[in-house]
Amino acid sequence: MNNKVDLLGYYGSDEVIACSAWTSTSRDLTNEKRSRIGKLISMLWREGHETPFEKGVVHFLVDCEIASHIHLLKHRISSLNAESARYKELKEDKYYLPEDWTEIRNSNPNLRIDGNGEKHQKWTTILRRYTELGNLLYHQCVEDIEPTLGRKRAKESARFFKTYNSQIQADIMFNMRSFANFIKLRNSEHAQKEIREIAQSMWDLVESIEGEPFKHTLEAIQCRLG
């Protein structure tokens, strides 16, 4: 299945971020001051006064393969919790197949995932079968190891059969400063396709929050990204 991103919630807005900056003078808001929020936010971001942006927070639920999960984990200025194969046997066996492999086939006729299968199989078919075999071995291994080493050790070690394209669920929260950094690094041509798509989905979700609470912040971030 495809990777998936949902927005679980958010805190703050352009106004909350602006008020955080205005704490240095006065947080009292007038209509005239409200009308200057867009300009203020643009100036703060442009000039690197970034701490007020930590007062806005976005929180996502992400179903993704292990490679993207590792990319998410690299971002230390975030808060992440994930489904754990140490604590439960992963029963669902969710996995990801790259869409862009489409018709590409294995060029080695002697290399087949099953003994009597067709020659030159599609790589998507090979990966699917390999993943399914890994999942079969995983569950059987849990069952066979448990009587000797106990359920806990069985789960945490049998997971070595799970493949890199296995999908797990994580919830991850960024403040708007670290979200901007995440977007800059991961919604970039240098980042892997899968994490790029996750970053783009996150951006789209925040952009389409009803009432556009982060309209000026997103514009400022976008402007610096060019």
Q: Which residues bind ligand FAD (CB under 6 A)?
A: 74-78, 178, 181, 185, 190-191
Integer Cα distance of 185 and 103 in angstroms: 31
Sign of the alpha-carbon torsion through 142, 148, 151, 157: negative
Output the smallest distance, CB 148 to ligand FAD, in A.
36
Q: 18 CB contacts (<8 Å, ≥6 apart)?
A: 37, 40, 41, 52
Residue nearest to ligand FAD (CB): 76
Integer Cα distance of 190 and 127 in angstroms: 25
Residue number, 141 or 191, with CB nearest to ligand FAD: 191
Residue number, 135 or 201, with CB nearest to ligand FAD: 201
Residue number, 57 or 185, with CB nearest to ligand FAD: 185
Output the smallest distance, CB 178 to ligand FAD, in A.
5
Output the smallest distance, CB 128 to ligand FAD, in A.
28
Q: 131 CB contacts (<8 Å, ≥6 apart)?
A: 95, 163, 165, 166
Residue number, 139 or 196, with CB nearest to ligand FAD: 196
Output the smallest distance, CB 177 to ligand FAD, in A.
8
Integer Cα distance of 87 and 90 in angstroms: 9
